[in-house]
Amino acid sequence: MQIMMVAPIKKRKLGKNGLEVSALGLGCMGLNFGYGPATDKKEAIALIRKAHDMGVTFFDTAEIYGPLTNEEVVGEALSPFRKEVVIATKFGFKPASKDETHWSALESRPEHIKTVVEGSLKRLKTDVIDLYYQHRVDPQVPIEEVAGAVKDLIQAGKVKHFGLSEAGVQTIRRAHAVQPVTALQSEYSMWWREPEAEILPTLEELGIGFVPFSPLGKGFLTGAIHQDTKFDKTDFRNVVPRFAEENRKANQGIVDWLTAFARKKNSTAAQVALSWVLAQKPWIVPIPGTTKIHCLEENLQAADLILTKEDLHEIEQAFAGIQVQGARYPQHLMERVGR
């Protein structure tokens, strides 16, 4: 079923600012945040290092993941070959109360950014962050001030590239006018294609790269999740409408079709889903995450799977007739995207 890797993962350039990375990155969040109990630290480090051994040079984390502990794991895992990899992390949140394990308050004031970058640098065991994203747009702080603060960090040699996450078109344009944006990170996959309407054309116009998170639909497009799946009580998907039992049942046809198509390509549903994302634009670099080495190996083989024009047309025709059920976020989180 699986495709053998015969060469290192190809490289891609994120936008026009010279940032070159492996065509597939590794989203590290799920190793200890968002999808149930944390992975054993030694196992998490081993997985990250396995990804590096297989040619991944792009690793994604954030201070809120854990919180703080994900950056520590990534920093320790990558420290032996720091100069060979690109590390992306994010700012923009703070604890919502004295309970510092619950980070939900937005915070992107320039003085805050310039303070928290020091913590990220220390946890990541590095003297420079390759790509520093604003995690979510803060409506209380003009984006020009945010971009200006990151510009100062770039001039100080603490950051190399500026990124945004889940930002809307006007925010992207305003930020880019102050400090060129290297990459936008937002959700994008076969079953969440909203970025195609306005975001992708804007990024292409401005020369900004695109880093899709959840390119496997938070695991659904792999076929490993079905209507009877029980998530851990700490799993974020428990509050995601698209993962309500009735919506998983309604959306099962997507995976059934994808699995059958993948079989014709001597591949897996996950590999087709990732290859499809890669086929959309040459400046797109998805960052699938996993806690299992066999899934990591499966995902990375997608870089060698070529979908023909006929394949892409067949996929397009199939999905044109599918109405995905369920919102991708609960309402209170939907209010924080696309600003």
pLDDT digits over 148-169, tens only? 999 999 999 999 999 999 999 9
Q: How far apart are the first and last CA of the chain?
A: 42
Please, are residues 195 and 222 in contact by the beta-carbon 8 Å criterion? no
Q: How far apart are CA 99 and CA 101, in angstroms?
A: 6
Q: Which one of the listed residues 35, 65, 132, 188 is annotated catalytic? A: 65
Beta bridge partners of 91: 134
100, part of any domain: yes
Please, are residues 65 and 34 in contact by the beta-carbon 8 Å criterion? yes
Q: pLDDT band at 6, cuts 50/70/90? A: very low
Residue type, 112: H
**The predicted structure's pLDDT at residue 103:** 82
In tens, the pLDDT along 168-215 reads 999 999 999 999 999 999 999 999 999 999 999 999 999 999 999 999
**SS3 category, 20:** strand
Q: pLDDT band at 336, cuts 50/70/90? A: confident
Which one-letter DSSP state was computed for residue 105?
A: E
Q: pLDDT band at 4, cuts 50/70/90? A: very low
Q: pLDDT band at 338, cuts 50/70/90? A: confident
Of the candidates 271, 116, 92, the residue with the CA atom closest to the CA atom of residue 190: 271
Q: How far apart are CA 224 and CA 306, in angstroms?
A: 23
Can you tell me the mean pLDDT for 252-266? Answer: 97
Of the candidates 72, 179, 194, the residue with the CA atom closest to the CA atom of residue 134: 179
5, part of any domain: no
207, part of any domain: yes
Can you tell me the mean pLDDT for 265-270? Answer: 98
- Reply yes or no on whether the pLDDT at 236 is more than 90: yes
Can you tell me the mean pLDDT for 130-148? Answer: 98
Can you tell me the mean pLDDT for 322-326? Answer: 93
Please, are residues 241 and 247 in contact by the beta-carbon 8 Å criterion? yes
CA 236 to chain centre: 15
128, part of any domain: yes
How many Cα atoms are found within 13 Å in the side-chain-facing hemisphere of 59? Answer: 33
Q: pLDDT band at 1, cuts 50/70/90? A: very low
| pTM of the predicted protein model | 0.96
Beta bridge partners of 319: none
In tens, the pLDDT along 36-45 reads 999 999 999 9
- Reply yes or no on whether the pLDDT at 7 is more than 80: no
Domain coverage including residue 120: 11-334
In tens, the pLDDT along 276-287 reads 999 999 999 999
Q: pLDDT band at 3, cuts 50/70/90? A: very low
Q: pLDDT band at 237, cuts 50/70/90? A: very high
If one counts the domains in the chain, the total is 1
Indicate the burial class of 331 (C-beta count within 10 angstroms; 0-12, 13-18, 19 or more): exposed
- Reply yes or no on whether the pLDDT at 85 is more than 60: yes
- Reply yes or no on whether the pLDDT at 2 is more than 60: no
Residue 89 belongs to domain with CATH number = 3.20.20.100
| Most distant pair of Cα atoms in the chain: their distance | 56
In tens, the pLDDT along 89-135 reads 999 999 876 666 678 899 999 999 999 999 999 999 999 999 999 99
319, part of any domain: yes
- Whether 65 is a known active-site residue: answer yes
Q: How far apart are CA 261 and CA 267, in angstroms?
A: 9
How many Cα atoms are found within 13 Å in the side-chain-facing hemisphere of 138? Answer: 24
In tens, the pLDDT along 43-63 reads 999 999 999 999 999 999 999
3, part of any domain: no
Q: What percent of the chain has pLDDT over 90?
A: 90
108, part of any domain: yes
